[in-house]
Amino acid sequence: MNNQLIISNTSIRKDSIGRYSLNDLHKASGNQDKDKPANWLRSEKTVELIDEILIAHNREVKKQDSDFKPVVSKSGRYGGTYVCKELVYSYAMWISAAFALKVIRAYDNLVTSAAKVKATFVQSTAKELTPLRQTAERLIATGVGNIYPDIWKYVHKEFGVEHINELLPEQIPQAISFLDALEGEYIPKQQLPQVGLESLAMPMSFFDEYDWLFKLEGTDKDEALSSFYKYPQKMLKNMAEYPNPLGKMLTKLSDAGVNVDAAWLHLRVLKHNYEVNTRKLNSSMSDGELSRLLVVRNRFDKALSLWKDNLCRNLIRMDVPSAVPFNQAVTDAISELRFITDKISERLIA
């Protein structure tokens, strides 16, 4: 069954839960920067709508459903941001009324077509489905269920159905072959934990969960990620809450049983040398600034002392009554200057 949502000749991907790809919708709308999903997700109205959807959902199911998420970000080749149907409409309306109308009509056509197909759909009988059920039970008994906790979800997704009863009779052998293929994948997984290449993907959407940190650091995230030389040094801090895609990738590989000790060593060496060189650079800058400050102070000190001595000598020779107090005032000013420059020097050295 073809249940693909298509808008402006662009296929809109859907995950196993039924959420739609915002990235595909953005592409279908014209792919303009101002219409990026991240901009819409940051708006106050969007946040309020997400909260209302969660409240309504929990009220309908009469209990808290921790698995239900109106918005989810996924990594990998087919990653991106996926949202529920209500948020699809909201995002489309946020872009423009014209695009919202396209989305509504496309979804209506999809639902109408699915209803027509269902009306003429020949469902498989319980007897015809018996071999498929037996195959699934055998796989669960052999331990495949530990890798694929809900085998039927994979069958539903593969054949575009909501229940195995919707399979055509001629699709049942195909479904059995599909389950056998899952069993074939399970055998090497018993020998060594594997990790799919898609799960190691680190697209730019990796940084989306750090929006708060970019804001906290006073950094424009879009500008920072537009080029490697625009990424600010302050976002490279060696702290757990700061983004580290390489570290995350190596952690995934380690958890899968892959030995990446050499890669970890190299990454830590790079971090260590970066921190050491940064400290040296800051120290050399402080030393240079301190040296220049002391040279200027000494020159100013000598010039002012010479000027003070000559002026006061002439004033005393002329028997000017204010000569002695003036001499003391200038002396105090010079002492104050030395005190201030000493404090600045201490800060630079620290």
User: What is the rounded CA–CA span in Å between residue 148 and residue 240?
Assistant: 31
User: What is the rounded CA–CA span in Å between residue 114 and residue 135?
Assistant: 29
For residue 7, give the H/E element and its range: strand 5-7
Does the CA dihedral 55-57-62-67 come out positive or negative?
Answer: negative
**pLDDT average per 10 residues of sequence, the chain (350 residues):** 77 85 94 92 91 82 62 77 93 94 89 60 76 81 58 78 82 84 55 56 85 86 86 77 81 76 80 73 57 66 66 59 56 67 58
Sequence-ordered list of residues with C-beta below 8 angstroms from that of 190, at least 6 positions apart, any chain: 143
Tokens of 268: 């830590």
Kindly report the pTM of this predicted structure. Answer: 0.37
Q: Which residues of 227-258 are buried (b: 16+ CB within 10 A; e: fewer)?
A: eeeebeeebeeeeeeebbeebebbebbeeeee
Centroid of chain to Cα 84? 20
Among the listed residues 12, 26, 183, 175, the one whose alpha carbon sits nearest the alpha carbon of residue 99: 26
* pLDDT attached to residue 105: 92
* pLDDT attached to residue 189: 44
* pLDDT attached to residue 45: 92
The alpha-helical segments, DSSP class H, found in 62-96 are 85-95
* pLDDT attached to residue 328: 63
In this structure, how many other beta carbons lie within 10 angstroms of the beta carbon of residue 25? 26
Tokens of 317: 């020779």
* pLDDT attached to residue 190: 43
Q: DSSP letters along 226-287, please?
A: S-GGGS-GGGG-SSTTS--HHHHHHHHHHHTT---HHHHHHHHHHHHHHHHHHHHHHHHHHH
Structural contact between residues 235 and 219, judged by C-beta atoms closer than 8 angstroms: yes
